[in-house]
Amino acid sequence: MSTSSRLDDWMREGEEALDAGEFELALDRFDAVLAHDPQHWGAALDRAETLHLLWRTPEALRAVTALRPPEEEEDDPDRAELEGRVREAGGEFAAADRLFAEAAHLDPEQFPEPTRLRAEDFRAILDEVLASLPSPIRAAVTEVPVLVEAKPTAAMAEHAPHITPEVLGLFVGTPVGEKLRSPSGYGDVVLLFQRNLERAGATREEVAEEIRITLLHEYGHYLGFDEEGLEGMGLQ
């Protein structure tokens, strides 16, 4: 097999692993590509993305900023958007929004600017969505409150290792029918991550729909449905 074919195979395997959430495998494949071709743009960008999803934020930031072009050259929208997400995960919200604006300028169709909302506006949308949910879900809300956070954190991921910095919501606690308490420190709550939800919708209406889908999914977890059950109910 030629070196070119081997690199293509590693890239394909890495991208498939990245899509499947197998981040360590993806990182191994992108590292293999870069060991043979250090200038491989796709592998370098995907590697930075993988580090980001593994909560290795400082490493991801070094990797993605190393790909930034000289000042006189136009940036790549994929790179700018990824750096924005990495900086956002690190709490650099103003810097992140500048990068999201740059990505939107370079490719407005693929990277529309996030719909940023004041806390009270987001809460108003949330209240509207809660009132529209099916009665079993509304009943669950009286038992398990909804909290809004700007972003998920690495500390949360220590107790919920399946989440990434891009997750929209998270049920934290004990599903109905289980007696073991969660060690999360939160008690039973559903967390919504405002900045991620804002980026998931290009308009206020789209953000509201993303909130609705996320609430249905997370309260479905509270009610004891696994991923297959949620999919069967149309909550995936």
Give Cα 60 to chain centroid, integer Å.
15
Which amino acid would we find at residue 227? Answer: E
Q: Which residues pair with 191 in a beta bridge?
A: 147, 170
pLDDT at 236 over 50: no
pTM: 0.88
Give Cα 156 to chain centroid, integer Å.
13
Render pLDDT for 192-211 as a digit per residue (tens, 0 to 9): 999 999 999 989 999 999 99
Between residues 228 and 112, which one has the greater pLDDT?
112
Least confident piece of the model among 68-72, 163-167, 209-213, 224-228:
224-228
Q: How many CA atoms lie less than 13 Å away from 147 in the CB half-sphere?
A: 14
Q: What is the dihedral of CA 118, 111, 168, 64, to 10 degrees?
A: -110
At residue 178, φ and ψ (nearest 5 deg) are -110, 145
Render pLDDT for 130-155 as a digit per residue (tens, 0 to 9): 999 888 888 888 888 999 999 999 99
> What span, in angstroms and rounded, lies between the C-alpha atoms of 157 and 149?
14
Which domains are assigned to the chain?
3-106 (1.25.40.10), 119-232 (3.30.2010.20)
**How much is the pLDDT for 182?**
46
**How much is the pLDDT for 172?**
84
Token pair 């993605």 is found at 64
**How much is the pLDDT for 102?**
97
Q: How many CA atoms lie less than 13 Å away from 101 in the CB half-sphere?
A: 7
